[in-house]
Structure formats: structure tokens, C-alpha cells
A and B are shown apart, each in its own frame.
Chain A
């Protein structure tokens, strides 16, 4: 299975912003925050199409997301909108500032056709079982 090293960025998108005001348990918020945007060339390298499922791994964790095509050229970068799914791959170390490093992390993206994006409840269930 091909895999790709990217620089991971997280941030606001307008759809995520609308989603959080509609409701964070809404379908629109789920759709907006469970994606990773990749450059078309990177999608090609991974041999996947927009909408395919991928696993994103950093030193801090792993999360299953939908790959989407970035609207503008951003080769070598993966962008995940802010939300509980993005936070699965963000570290808790704040460098004594209070602020976790949420942008510019090293990440690996791997196609995961046999996996599914977890719902919010499933995500919490996984966290609870990992804590035990």
C-alpha cells in the first residue's frame, strides 16, 4: 500500500464555521471536519480518488478520514479542518505556552479502503477503551 509523508496543517474553513453554528452534532459539521485535503498530485501518488478513506498518522495518534482534493495547489501538505478528528493527531505538549502545536506537524497518509470514519460517539468510545 503506498503511503505519503505530508506536512499537516489544521485550520478553519468556512463550511466548518457554518457547521459549528448549525450544531457540532450535525451532519454538516461531521462532513466538514472528517476530511483531509490533499493536492491532486498527492492523491495520484497514493492512487486514490477524492472521497476515498485514508489513515493519517503522526507521532501523537492516528485518525481515519476522507481524502478530498485541495482547491489550490498544496503539494506535500495535508489540511484537516479544526474538530475532534483533527485533534486525534495533535500532541498535548505546549512548549510551556499553553498552546499545542496544531500546524506544521509531520504526518503519514495511507489509503485505508477497509476502514471507516468514526462517529463522534465511536471516537469517544475508542478514547475510553484506550484509557483503560
Chain B
């Protein structure tokens, strides 16, 4: 019954996969979103290239969603950066190509001379690169923040406050009979999530038709059409709806005809379904973390899950976006005890979102250097933060041109993690399962992986600041 699942590639791939001139790598992990789909089959051209296709080109990524497919097939295109750059001029349009050593020296000088540098990103790279980035933050005396601060950071703050009852995606697939997607659109952001882990997959104890799927969001999307029930909640009022469900669950009667724009009949129906299910899962997205209430919305959603466990089994999980944003939280937490927004300016880790988070430090005009690692803050931060980035030296470490490379002083090109990067590269799936990523093709000549470049940077900053490096 795997039908009409959106986001799938529809191209006929048989011809490409059958040609003897391609090699197929199976069970490749897709380095796009937090689903880390591990069933991708990637076809790469071999000797005797296909007409007009050079050797070593990825020509197909079977099973990948449209976004993952694009990532694999667009590894070598006009937006790829092949040489390190030093950019200058008022609009950073004067580009000088330099060696990686020279670019690393320039970047190290910026970091070593800065009083409050910010190292940010780390969600679209490996745990190994994260380890090196944290070391770089230590020797630079920097604030190190990952993209979860503008993603699921409020959710993590809620977890620190009230804890969390969660499960692996495998367990949800096999056991869950009621699945709620709250404040998210998995078709757009995690196109294969429903097919691999929830709605359209047969689990050990659940058939596709056994499950009830709810979508709760402020606007209907294509996903709303494919679920059992869609509930439209008024913007900024998720908190009210969650609390109303908790009240009904505890036996209180609400004297209202609607809550947060949702008719009382629907709220009661949702509560009854939650109570009667055998295994409830709530997946939540940025609809809860980026709207009014932020961390409090997640706190109360987790509280609802805890309440439900008085009657049945219930778990909750964020739908993490970047493929290793979960890993960046894990690495930071196992190193410092804090998951993001960690200041290392004073020789000991200090954590205070709002004070040490990248957006706030920029908006207040305190950051005097910015290093974006495998992230694009100029495309995801509010304009008031980007304006400060225009006034300070910016370094970018990324395989491809992005909005931030256009305002950068130093551009360090790197290999795609999970496609080209050498050595052991690992990432955490959204449910906290660590997986080892693959190398399918070689990186362009002279292009190193993120962890290698960050290691060079640590060495260089240590040299400039006269710090004896801890022998990792």
C-alpha cells in the first residue's frame, strides 16, 4: 500500500542502473535531513564514461526524496567551490584564489585577533568535525553555537526543564498506532519520514491501516490531505490547545465552544483518541518552536506526553532538520554538558541562550568575527543579525556557494560529508541513533574534509596564540 507518497523521484532509473559503466553503492545514508535514510542506492560512472558524463559522476540516487536526490546529483555543479578564496572590497566581490594553507592562516588570524568570535553551524557536518570545531572554539576563546539555536533549541531548553519520554524511530514504526504531526509539514521538510517510520510502513505489530494519523497545524498543506484527521489551530495558540487537551484528559470539563480556533468537538475527539491509543507518538516541528511561546509550547507538549503515560504508552520527538543537528547537540553535550550556545571565552564553558546564542550576540553588536561551518546563517538569521555580519570579518567552511559565502572574507571549500569526505564520518539520526556515513566518490583535487581543515585551523590558532595543544 505504498502509494502516492510525495517527494519521491519518479525518474525511470532502470536504464542507468543496468549499464555496466556505472558502479552502484548500496545502503548509502542520505546526508540531507535528520531522517538519515539508509537505503539509498547511488550510481557512479566508471571508466569508459557515459556519453558526456565524466568518470566519477553521481548519476542516480535511487530511493532518495527529491531534495536528497538533488543533493547527491548536484555535488559537482557551477555552485561548487573548488579553490579557497580571500574576498575583499566593500561588497566582497574581489576574489583572490589562494592555497588552503594561506586561507587557513588568514582565517586563523581573524579568530586569534577577535575578542568575541562566534563559531556557528555544525549541523550539516560530521561528529568528528564537531569535535574539532569545539577544540577550535576553546583555543580561540569563542562562543560556539549550532543551528539548533534557530531550529529546535527551544525544544532542548524545554527538555532541560521537564525531561522527555522518547523512543527510536524503529520502535515507533513497529508499535505506534496513533501518530501526531504537530506544527510541521513532513512532506516538505522530511519527505520520506512518513514512508519509512510512520504512516506508510508496515511495522512488526502495526499494519498501515491500523494507524491513525493526525496533523495539527496553523494552515492546511498537502500533508493534511493524506492524514486521518487535520486540526487547524490559530497561529500562536498551540499552547492553549495543548493545555486544553491536558485538562480534558484529567477529567475537567471546559466551558468553551472552541479552543485556539478548534471546535470543542474536535478537541474532545483528539483527547479520546490520545487516551484510547495503545502507543501514541507526537512528532513536532518548528511550528511550535518558532511561534509565540517557543520553549513553553514544547514543555507543555512533553507534559501532555507524560500525562498520557498514566493511561497508555506515549512518546514525543522533534523532527530535526539538518542531517546531523542532533549530533552537534550530542557532541557539545558530551564535551561541555550543554547542547548549544556555549561560550568558551572565560576558560570554562558557560551556557545561557539569549546571551550566548549566535543571533543575540550578533543583534547586540558584540560579535567581532564570525565563522560559519557547514551552515548558512546569512540565509537563516533575521536581517538585524545579518547586518552585523556585514560589519565584521566572516569565514565560511562549506563545499558550495551559499548566501554567507557572498559576504565572507575567507571561504574554505570542503568535501561533502557523507558523499566525499575521507575517514570515519558519523552522524546522529533525529532519534539519537549514531550512524556511519559513506564515502562514494573522491572529493575534487586538493579539497579536504571539514575535520581536516578544522584541525589545520586549531594548529594555526594555537601557533598564533602560543597555546600548547592538548594531544588529542
Contacts and interface: CB of A to CB of B under 8 A. Distances in A.
Interface of A: 7, 9-14, 16-18, 20-26, 60-61, 70-74, 77, 79, 82-84, 87-88, 90-104, 120-121, 124-125, 127-128, 130-131
Contacts of A22: 70, 74, 77, 79
Contact of A98 (B91, B191, B341, B384): B341
Task: Give me the 6 closest cross-chain CB pairs, A-B, nearest first.
Answer: A98-B357, A96-B354, A23-B79, A92-B384, A92-B363, A98-B149
10 contacts: A17-B67, A20-B376, A23-B78, A24-B403, A94-B353, A94-B357, A98-B340, A98-B360, A99-B153, A102-B291
B287 interface: yes
B354 A94 contact: yes
B220 A72 contact: yes
Given A11-B286, A74-B220, A87 B386 contact: yes
Q: Which of A70, A73, A103 has the most CB of B within 10 A?
A: A103
Given A12-B185, A24-B379, A99 B290 contact: yes
B162 interface: no
B154 A99 contact: yes
A99 B6 CA distance: 30
B129 interface: no
B128 interface: no
Given A73-B220, A99-B149, A102-B290, A82 B391 contact: no
Given A92-B363, A99-B294, 20 more contacts: A11-B185, A23-B401, A24-B79, A24-B403, A70-B219, A71-B221, A71-B222, A72-B219, A90-B382, A91-B382, A92-B384, A97-B153, A97-B157, A98-B360, A100-B382, A102-B150, A103-B287, A124-B91, A127-B386, A128-B90
Interface residues of B, number: 72
Interface in B71-87: 71, 74, 77-79
B390 A124 contact: yes
B235 interface: yes
Interface in B334-359: 340-341, 353-355, 357-359
B384 A60 contact: yes
Contacts of B71: 21
Contacts of A10: 290
B194 to A, nearest CB: 14
Q: Which of B153, B189, B340, B391 has the most CB of A within 10 A?
A: B189
Interface in B177-197: 185, 187-189, 191
Contact of A23 (B90, B150, B400): B400
Contacts of A77: 218-219, 235
A92 B385 contact: yes
A98 to B, nearest CB: 3
A20 B187 CA distance: 16
B136 interface: no
B115 interface: no
Contacts of B381: 87, 100
Interface string B71-109: 100100111000000000011000000000000000000
Nearest to B407: A124
Given A98-B149, A98-B354, A104-B236, A23 B74 contact: yes
Nearest to A14: B188
A24 B405 CA distance: 10
Interface string B356-370: 011110110000000
A25 B66 contact: no
A104 B291 contact: yes
A74 to B, nearest CB: 5
Interface in B385-443: 385-387, 390-391, 400-403, 406-407
Contacts of B355: 96
A101 B290 contact: yes
A98 B218 contact: no
B292 interface: yes
A92 B359 contact: yes
Contacts of B341: 98
Contact of B235 (A7, A25, A84, A96): A7
Contacts of B191: 14
B295 interface: yes
Nearest to B187: A14
A103 B290 contact: yes
B284 interface: no
Contact of A72 (B150, B224, B386): B224
Contacts of A95: 294, 354
A124 B391 contact: no
Contacts of B380: 82, 87
Contacts of B130: none
